[in-house]
Structures are given as C-alpha cells and as structure tokens.
Structure 1
Amino acid sequence: MFSFTDPVADDAAVSSAPSASLADAARDMQRQGRQREARMVLLAYRLGLSVSDDFVVNPVRQNGIRDAADKAAVGEVSLQLGVSRSQAGKWLTLGAQLQRMPQLRLAFLEGDFALHRISVISAILGVVDDDLRGVLEPLALGLARRATTDPMLRSQLEKLLIELDPDAAAAARKDFAERNQNVIVRPDAFGHNTVDATVPAEHGVFLRERLAALLALRVCKHDPRTTGQQRVAALAELMGFPAARLTCACGRDGCGRGVDEPAPASGLEPEAASGIVVVVDPDDGRAPHLRGHGAIDPGHAAEIGDAARQIELPAESIVAGAGGGDGPAPPIDPTGHGGFSVPPPGALVYQPSKQLRAQILATDLWCRYPYCGNPSHACEIDHLVKFDHADPNAGGWTVAYNLIPMCTPDHHRKHLGVWIPTMHTDRSITWRNSVTGQQIVTYPR
C-alpha cells in the first residue's frame, strides 16, 4: 500500500484508501511501527553497551570520573539518536532488562506490544528473581494481550506479584518511593505552570476524591468551564491560595450551588471526602485492592488502615474467572435473565440493591468496555440486555449476570449499537462489531 520512499504517493494512498480496509491497514502499520521501534531500542542498547564496555576495558579513558562508562553510554545514545539523556537512559535500562526476559523480547520484536506496554511489563518482572520471573513472564504476556489500558495492566501484574511474593512487592514499593517520590513545579506556556507529582497511591486517591467532592458540592452542570478548569480552581482552594474559592460560574439565579460565601473546603467531612476504600479478601486469597488505584501489598494496606475504610469481598460474591483457559466460557442466557426461569427478588426493579451493587463492584474492577480503565466504583451499573420499564418481565432483569459497570461515555457508545456485548459464565464479555464481526474480549479483573 505504501512505498515509504515517496511521501506524496503515500499521502495519496491514505486519502484514497477504501473505508472497508482502513482498520486493517492501520493495524498493519501499527505493527510495523512497533517492530521498527523494538529494533531501534535494542540497537540503542547494543550501542550503549559497546561504549560502556570500551570504557570498562580502558580505565584510562575514565579520567577519574565517577560512573564514566554509564555516562558515556547514555551520552552517546542521546547524541546519535537525537533524544534527551533521560530517554536514552530509559532505553538502555529497558534493553538490559529484556536480556533476562527472552519471551518478552521476542514479543517486542514481533510487534505485539507498544514500547510503553513493554516497559510496564519489564519494570514489574525486573524486581523478582530468575525463578519467579520464569513463572511470571508467560502470565504477563497473556495479560498484556487483553484489551486493557497500560495502568490496568500494571495493576494486574502487581496483583500477580503481590499474591506470589508479597515481600518482593513491598520491597519494590519502598524502592520506588526512594527513587521517584517528588513534587516538581516548572514553568509552562502563557502564564501557567505544570505540577508533576509522584506520591503514595492513597495520597493521590485522596486528592482526586477531594477534588470530586468539592466540584459536586459547588458546581452545577451549567457551569461553562471545562472540568479541568474547575479542578484547577478547586485545587487552589485546597492548597490554601489566598482568597481562592470554588464557586459555580453558571450565573443562574436559581443555582443552589452558587453561594456567595461557600464554606472553605477544609470544612468538608473527612469521611465523606477522603474516598480511600480498600477491598480485602477475608480469606487472604487475593491482594488488597485500593479503589481508584489497583492492587496494593498487604503491608501497604495495613499502613493506611487508619485512614482508609476497609470492606470485605462479599461472602457470596459473583464468580469471576481469570480467563486464559482452553476456550471461551459458555455464554450467559441471551434474554438477560441470568439463567433464571423465575425472576428472583429485585430482578424486576431497575435499580440494583446495595448488596447486588457491592457484589458487582467487588468482582468487576473497571468499566467493562474495551480499553477503558475507569474504576468500577465511579461507573454506572448498566443492564447488558436493556431493562424494559413498560414490561420488566420481558426485558433484561436486574440480576448479576445482566449487570456491568460502565463509565458514562462508554455507556453511550454501547447504546450506539456498533459493538454488541455477550457475557459468559466467567463474566468475561465478548464485544462483537455488528458490521465486521470483529471480536474483542474484556475481563472483570
């Protein structure tokens, strides 16, 4: 399709490509791009290694400079490839890690995964010993092939690590804190600054929930500002910037949230505003789950115990399979009745009970649409088969195997009817494109 030597011709090829072939062509180019990037990174590693080896075998060249070999390697890769020292260092670190992960290295060269996804996997596998890495590597590749975002994959890999070696996970957390915890404020364009912070997970969740609570309290849906602008105004108040107060800017006389002198954000009830919830398995079979973040090690959960609300997995929680067996699990009853012949209590009521909602949230950790990482507790609970308000018995019922968490935008996408979901007995969902027949599978955790 493309010459890769004539940009004018390739531009014309893009413009004239038939609609039916666009997705396949784009995926093909994506794979080729990943394959080339993999080779570039591994060649960069070899380049850095050759420079480093030269300095090691020729001590005179080091001139008494500390870590001269490493500095020379990073500097040469930076200059030869025209990237920052930081980027060059990341490529060299990744290249070194991949030498101990042959399956991951070959998948990278095959173009199966993007550079960032490979980096996520290698960072987790890099903290364990060789024996455990041999166990984790094929499992990690299986998880990486799912329709998940990179943060979701990281959480899944950390969960695996925690459950197999909690001590290694705790040590990795402490090492990461020593190397990366920081708050950086740097100038940005047009009178703005960029604030970049690496903080403990519970601090980040606390801040996000405080911002959300303040917006819900002070701003109505008619406020003309973007959500980002509203959050910035809320953050200024939370930081204690002089005279900073988040107020609704809708300008409507009847707005109940546009009060003249709102109480300071520090007056929010701590329990209502913290939002720190840790879901634990009473049988210690699963890693603790910090809502809004992901898996955390048991020691971490204990450390934040006084600040967090701890809830246990429901004793009768829905069975959720990990997937990856010999084939897909059988599909659930397509009527949306969850396999029941007679509606159980609550099945003909649109809103699920608190107990049923808790079961769904404990089992399905994210929005169930492909490649969405919104946490389930921030999602709507949606009926897979539409609930019939005129005749509840005829439509989809409010039962576990007809309910999934979905964020609002993806809920809207589902109702567009382009991708049709089918749930299976392990709560995996197959999303089928109604036009092409393409299928994407998502899993509850």
Structure 2
Amino acid sequence: MFSYTDPIGDDAVLSSLGSSGIGEPARDALRLSRQAEARALLMAHRIGEAAYDDMLVFLSPGRQMMVRKHAEKAAVGEISLQLGLSRTKAGTWYQLGIALQQFPKIRMAYLAGDLSTHRMSVLIHAAEAASDIAPGAPTEPEAPDVDSPDVDSPETDTPETDFEDIALDLAERPTTDTVLRDALEELVISLDPDDATEAREEFGRAWENVAISNDSSGHINIDACVPAEFGVYLRDRIAALIAARICRRDPRTLGQQRVVAMAALMGTPGADLVCQCGDENCHPNGERDTTQPPNGAPAVPLTQPDRQADERDRADTEPTSDTALTPAAPWTLVLDPAGTAVPRLHGYGAIDPAHAEHLHDRSIEILLRNNVERGPWGRLVVTDRAAAPPVDPTGHGGHALPPPGALTYTPSRRLRDEIQQSDLTCRYPWCSRPAHECDLDHLVKFDHADPLVGGWTLPENIAPLCRPDHQRKHLALWLPTMHLDRSITWTNPTTGRQLTTYPR
C-alpha cells in the first residue's frame, strides 16, 4: 500500500483511504515502525558495546569502577553522535540493549514488532527485578530423595512457565502500560515481599526528589518523585477541592484548575480557587454529577442506606469545606485476610505488605471477600487460551428466578465491592481507570419498566466502565460479551475485530 520511499505518493494514498478500512493497514504500519525501532535500538547497543570495549583497552588499569564509568560514558557518547540522539535517550537505549541480552523471549517479541519500546522497557524492568529476587523464578521444587521409600518417582511438577512467558502473556492484553506495570509489580512482590520492600526503599533513596526549574513565559516546572501515598493524597485533595469549588462552566482547563488547587492547598498567597463561570449564584456541588461521587462510591444513584454507609466509611465523600478536604483516613487499602493476595493502595496499585502495614493506622481497609485460588506467581495466569463459555446472553446469569437484589437497579454495597475487587480497572480495552472510580454498568440493559425481562443486577451482568467508555458502550461502537471467567470480548460490529479484557 505504501512505498515508504515516496512521500508524495504515500500522502495521496492516505488521502484516498476510507475510514472504515484504515484500521488494519494502520496496525501494519505501526508494527513495521516498532520492528524498525527495535533493530535501531539493538544496533545502537552494538555501537555502544564496541566503543565501551575500545575505551577499556585505551584506559590504563586503575580503579575498576572509574574505568567502567568512563567506558560507559564513551559508549553513550558514540551512540549519541552516530544516531543523532540526545545523551539521555542514547543512554536509555544502551541500557535497554544490555538488558535485552538477558531476556531472549522479550527480545524476540520486541524484534517481531509485538511491543513498543516503552512497553518493552516495562517488561524488562520487571524481569530484572524478578531475576534479582529469584533467578529462574518461579523456584523449582526440590528434587525428592529417590532413596526414600515414601517417594514412588523422582518426577516433579516443575513449572513450565517462567517470568518472561507470564510477562509476555500480560503484555498481549489490550491494557495500558500503566496497568501492565501494576500487574507485573504485583507478580514481583508476590515472589518475595521482603525483597520488594528493600527495592522500594532503595528506589526512594536513589530517586525521591522535588526538582523546581525555571521554564519560559513566567512559569516554573515542578518535577517530583514521592512515595505513592504522598502522590495519592495530593491528587485526591486536588480533585476534592476542585469538585467543591468549581462548576462545569468554569472556562479554565482541568490542568489550570489543578495548578491553582495545588497552590491553594499549599497556602500560597493569592492562590484562591474560585469558580470563574461568572454566575453569582454558582453552586459547584449542585453542578457535580452526583451519580459518580469520589472515593469509590457507586456510579448509579445511591439509596439512602447506602449513602449513609458511604458517609460513615469514607471520610471525604462530599467535601464542602477545607476541613472536609483532610480526612482522618486519607488512603484506602485492599487487603487479603489470608495474606495471599498482594495488598493494593487505591489510586496507585500493588504495594508490598510492609508498605501496607506502614499505612495501616491511617487508612480505610477493604478486606477481600472471596480470595481466588492462585498459582506460583500470586495471581491467576491464562494458560488455556481457549475462550471460556459466554454467560447467559439474557443478562440473567443463568438463573431461572432472580436472586435477591437482581431486580434492583442500584448494586448493593456487597456486590459493588465484589466487582471492584475482581475487576481492578475499567473493562473497556486500553483503559486504565481504576474500578472504584468507574460506573458499574449493566452489560445487558436494565429494564426500569419491567426489571424481570431486562438485564439483572448480578456479577454476570455487571462490569466497571469509566464514564467516557460507558457512553461509548451505549453507542455500540464495540459490543461486549462476558464469559464465565469474567473475561469480556469486545467485538467491532463493522470490522469483526475482537479484543479481550480480563479481570485483575
């Protein structure tokens, strides 16, 4: 279709393409670009490797660390000069090239165009961490003593799947790099929680910082690396302050509102977050979408008992004053009473148990109700790629009679928690919105006129969808089919293309 050598001709081809058939050639072009970049990165590594070796020969013997440091700088500098890259990007490519030599399966997938450079780097960093914790993990079981009379056979059930296989399986799913990173971090923590704690502390010592540098046109850049709970707290407080004081008609962008909100929270003189809609009778709280309150409340309107429960359990449900913006329990943790599942911090993701224990006294805690059976990696892993059977297409979950609550539009708090604990994010492809910030959508529409015939309020018919994707689902751009394992296949009715998202 494209020559890739004639810009004018390729531009003419682009102008003549219809929108309905452009998806497949666009994906092909994207794959080719990834393949090309993979080869460029690995050739950059070879360039750097040669410069590194030459520098080692040139430098006189001395302090080993200093010699290697100079050799590495020479390698990065040579890559930068030959490829016209910044030193920062040249250094990143060089280090990734070194790491790729240790993980051949990831390297082959990268060369095949299955992974972008950034997605590959997410896999590499996780694979390196897993190797540091338990080389060759999951650890093979000890061989039995063949001389023991209690052992019938020396054969063992050695796991056939290694970390690279699991990582690549997760990377194939239509998830964002943020969701992929969180899933891999959960795996790494599950391998050795104590080592994960040490890694977190070492990362903090190396990278925690707030850098404030001058920009142009009277502005300054603020770049910070802070502990997860600090960032979650600041983000939630900024969102709560905007929700309390700004209505939808405010002309500023959300980014501009966040800047003023952060300054107001810091007590900066003159930084008062006031709605600029121009309406003297502006009521920000009245303008808010009450079907989607903050901090994990359900997307559908609350019944009075549920509303009272939310007010008791969540300290900042409806912030209307500055004091309401500082809840007694600023974080929400999801914990497994059995200690099997990795703890999770709402607004961030998987954290090590020691980190969760540190936040214990200052957090709301949600306990997992039904802990799923887990393998050696601490989470369910897809080993059988055959799709599970679909659920009842009527939206009745296979029930002849509606179970309690099935004919009530608003999901119960118990059902809401169950769905949010099973489905950690929005179930639309390529979305990373946390489930506790999403709508709980009936995949088969609930019939308010006759609830008995519509889709029922059951786990088999409920999935979290963020507000924009909820609206897209109702536009029928992609049609969902839930399966018995809670995987959801999304089908494009025009092209027939399918994407499958998974719980957790």
Cα–Cα, structure 1 residues 221 and 15, in superposed 2: closer, same or farther, change >3 Å? same
Q: Which residue in 2 is equivalent to 1:144?
A: 171
Amino acid at match of 1:92: Y
Query: 1:279–1:313: 8 Å Cα contact kept in structure 2?
Result: yes
Q: Which residue in 1 is equivalent to 2:206?
A: 179
Amino acid at match of 2:35: Q
Find the aligned partners of 1:66 and 1:428 in 2 and give their Cα distance: 49
Amino acid at match of 1:431: W
Q: Which residue in 1 is equivalent to 2:99?
A: 97
Amino acid at match of 1:437: G
Residues 174-222 of structure 1, C-alpha deviation per residue, up to 9 Å, x if partnerless?
Answer: 2222222111222334322222211111111111111111112112222
Residues 329-365 of structure 1, C-alpha deviation per residue, up to 9 Å, x if partnerless?
Answer: 1111011112211111111111111111111111110
Unaligned runs of 5+ in 1: none
SS at match of 1:393: coil
Aligned residue pair count: 441
Larger mean CA deviation between 296-305 and 361-370 belongs to 296-305
Larger mean CA deviation between 433-442 and 301-310 belongs to 301-310
Deviation at 1:317, TM superposition (A): 8.3
Q: Which among 240, 257, 262 is matched to residue 213 of structure 1?
A: 240
Q: Which among 110, 120, 132 is matched to residue 122 of structure 2?
A: 120
Q: Which residue in 1 is equivalent to 2:260?
A: 233
Query: 1:332–1:425: 8 Å Cα contact kept in structure 2?
Result: yes
SS at match of 2:223: strand
Amino acid at match of 1:42: L
Deviation at 1:86, TM superposition (A): 1.3
Normalised by the size of structure 1, how large is the TM-score?
Answer: 0.93
Find the aligned partners of 1:324 and 1:255 in 2 and give their Cα distance: 55
Deviation at 1:67, TM superposition (A): 1.8
Deviation at 1:8, TM superposition (A): 0.7
Residues 372-425 of structure 1, C-alpha deviation per residue, up to 9 Å, x if partnerless?
Answer: 000011111111111111111111111111111111111111011110001111
Identity of aligned residues (%): 50
Cα–Cα, structure 1 residues 340 and 272, in superposed 2: closer, same or farther, change >3 Å? farther
Query: 1:429–1:443: 8 Å Cα contact kept in structure 2?
Result: yes
Find the aligned partners of 1:16 and 1:376 in 2 and give their Cα distance: 41
Cα–Cα, structure 1 residues 413 and 86, in superposed 2: closer, same or farther, change >3 Å? same
Find the aligned partners of 1:324 and 1:187 in 2 and give their Cα distance: 51
Matched, 1:131 2:158: no
Q: Which residue in 1 is equivalent to 2:324?
A: 268
Q: Which among 247, 251, 258 is matched to residue 224 of structure 1?
A: 251
Find the aligned partners of 1:311 and 1:375 in 2 and give their Cα distance: 15
Q: Which among 386, 389, 392 is matched to residue 333 of structure 1?
A: 392
Query: 2:341–2:371: 8 Å Cα contact kept in structure 1?
Result: no
Q: Which among 108, 116, 135 is matched to residue 110 of structure 2?
A: 108
SS at match of 1:279: strand
Q: Which among 454, 477, 484 is matched to residue 425 of structure 1?
A: 484
Amino acid at match of 2:85: V
Find the aligned partners of 2:372 and 2:419 in 1 and give their Cα distance: 8
Amino acid at match of 2:435: S
Matched, 1:256 2:283: yes
Q: Which residue in 2 is equivalent to 1:402?
A: 461
Larger mean CA deviation between 349-358 and 306-315 belongs to 306-315
Q: Which residue in 2 is equivalent to 1:82?
A: 84
Residues 49-83 of structure 1, C-alpha deviation per residue, up to 9 Å, x if partnerless?
Answer: 11011111222499987821011111111121122
Larger mean CA deviation between 132-141 and 112-121 belongs to 132-141
Cα–Cα, structure 1 residues 161 and 16, in superposed 2: closer, same or farther, change >3 Å? same
Larger mean CA deviation between 177-186 and 87-96 belongs to 177-186
Find the aligned partners of 1:387 and 1:194 in 2 and give their Cα distance: 48
Query: 1:323–1:428: 8 Å Cα contact kept in structure 2?
Result: no
Query: 1:381–1:404: 8 Å Cα contact kept in structure 2?
Result: yes
Cα–Cα, structure 1 residues 316 and 290, in superposed 2: closer, same or farther, change >3 Å? closer
